[in-house]
Amino acid sequence: ATVAGPLDVPASRERLAGFRETLARAGHPRVPVVEGGFTLDSGSAATARLLARYPETDGVFAANDLMAQGACRLLAERGARVPEDIAVIGFDDSAIALSCVPPLTTVRQPVERMAAEMARLLDERVRGERTEPVSVVLAPELVVRESA
């Protein structure tokens, strides 16, 4: 299941699409989705709605680490053990991922490589070497900790 970010935000829609595509390739074409915001409290509230609708949920992928920490907080309040009862995975590998209890498994984006590619493409555009739009896709990394 996933606790998505606000679906009026392009990054949220793209993360959700990537999540769905990956699970479909793994043989799971239908995945429960609940929309939230990118905050701790929203992560808790969205996880509560998710569990009310899908009580058999055994894993939650959150749109960012704050939402994942909110999910962990709600699960702890309800007496659920992470990851034994429900696994939780975040996105961003922010500093909060290490302060989460348990430490959060998360998806890290290659931010430095993204910045370098943007600078390179901007330089090429300024020099007139490139005029057409370019799409660059950089693979994220799964950082395995204790929550999944």
54-68 pLDDT, tens per residue? 999 999 999 999 999
Q: CB atoms < 10 A from the CB of 9, how many?
A: 14
pLDDT of 75 above 90: yes
Mean pLDDT, residues 94-98: 93
Report in angstroms the alpha-carbon separations of 22 from 19, 26, 28, 47, 112: 5, 6, 9, 21, 24
Say what the pLDDT of residue 59 is: 96
Domains of the chain: 2-109 (3.40.50.2300)
Closest CA to 61 of 27, 101, 12, 99: 12
Residues 68 and 42 sit within 8 Å (Cβ to Cβ):
no
pTM confidence score? 0.86
DSSP-derived pairing of the beta strands 141-143 and 105-108: antiparallel
102-148 pLDDT, tens per residue? 999 999 988 889 899 999 999 999 999 988 888 888 889 999 999 99
What is the rounded distance in angstroms from the CA atom of residue 116 to the CA atom of residue 106?
Answer: 23
Helix axes 65-77, 40-53, angle to 10 degrees: 60
Say what the pLDDT of residue 11 is: 87
Residues 37 and 5 sit within 8 Å (Cβ to Cβ):
yes
76-90 pLDDT, tens per residue? 999 999 999 999 999
Mean pLDDT, residues 7-34: 91
Say what the pLDDT of residue 68 is: 98
Say what the pLDDT of residue 117 is: 93
Phi–psi pair at 119, nearest 5 degrees: -65, -40
What is the rounded distance in angstroms from the CA atom of residue 13 to the CA atom of residue 18?
Answer: 9
Say what the pLDDT of residue 65 is: 97
Say what the pLDDT of residue 64 is: 95
Say what the pLDDT of residue 56 is: 94
Give every strand in the sheet of 59-62, ordered side by side: 33-35, 2-4, 59-62, 87-91, 105-108, 141-143
Say what the pLDDT of residue 42 is: 97
